[in-house]
Amino acid sequence: MKTVKDKVAAITGAGSGIGRATAVLLAKRGCHLALSDVNPQGLAETEAKCREHGVRVRVDRVDVAKREEVHTWADEVAREFGAVHIVINNAGVALGATIEDTRYEDFEWLMNINFWGVVYGTKAFLPHLKAVDAGHIVNVSSVFGLIGVPTQAAYNSAKFAVKGFTEALRQELEVEGGSIGVTCVHPGGIKTNIARNARVTVRRGWTDERSSSDFEKAFATTPERAAEDIVTAIHKNRRRQLIGGDAVLIDFMQRLLPTLYQRVLVAGMKRRRRKMMSAAT
């Protein structure tokens, strides 16, 4: 897609973070927007920022974990704008807990948003993209869709699943020979509220009240930088987009040391665990 000007983009999780930054960047470039989130206040703030650039903006409270809501939203957006060209399945949540401590309810909560939300968004909008035989789908995975990490089993499961789903989707569309591009995005540490808003099960030696804030200290990339990379990936029709130097490093480590990286993570977690246990005594 050479230009986004006068195109229509639908973005989930647009109330903050990467979703908001991408919406604003697309608005600056003349793209009309259909934005959704479960946070009305954040969504309203994003809407105001986008309208400053003179584009059409529609906002809806949509829970991506609910299939009917996503499909209804997609149909209404297509009806109002007349077409949809870009879909960015970005909405996501986080969960920190060992597998032993993770409740089934929390696992399902995360999977319903992070994985099924991507599936629903893709399937709901795909017929509308095919109707114009042009467009692009962006599904947001994570570096945790490339490597497994202790206390992140649920998040890993969803993000690995998004990667596989997105790669299969792209191949199917290429076999059909249409003009719809697909990109799987793997952000590293992005300065958003996802870690701060994560559900964390506190367990001595594994997680505590500071786990989320400690995790955030490693976040180095701004949402605006992530948005630039995503829009560039759309323009260049990339299959995959790593975001942030940490993502590039992690990807390289996983490819170079596909099993040894796990030993490195185990050693680091053991050191952290000893430190947490000592602080608790």
**What is the identity of the amino acid at 164?**
G
In which residue are the tokens 């879909």 written? 87
Q: Measured between alpha carbons, how far is 161 from 33 in angstroms, rounded to an integer?
A: 27
Find the catalytic residue in 104, 120, 155, 261: 155
Structure tokens belonging to residue 4:
């986004």
> What is the greatest pairwise CA distance in the chain?
64
Q: Determine whether 155 is an active site residue.
A: yes
Using DSSP's 3-state secondary structure scheme, residue 111 falls into helix
Of the candidates 119, 88, 124, 92, the one whose C-alpha atom is nearest the C-alpha of residue 10 is 88
Structure tokens belonging to residue 181:
């591009």
In which residue are the tokens 């959704």 written? 36
Distance from chain centroid for Cα 191: 13
Distance from chain centroid for Cα 3: 23
3-state helix, strand, coil in the chain (%, to 5): 50, 15, 30
58, containing H or E segment: strand 57-61
18, 227 contact by CB (below 8 A)? yes
Q: Where in the sequence numbering do the catalytic residues fall?
A: 155
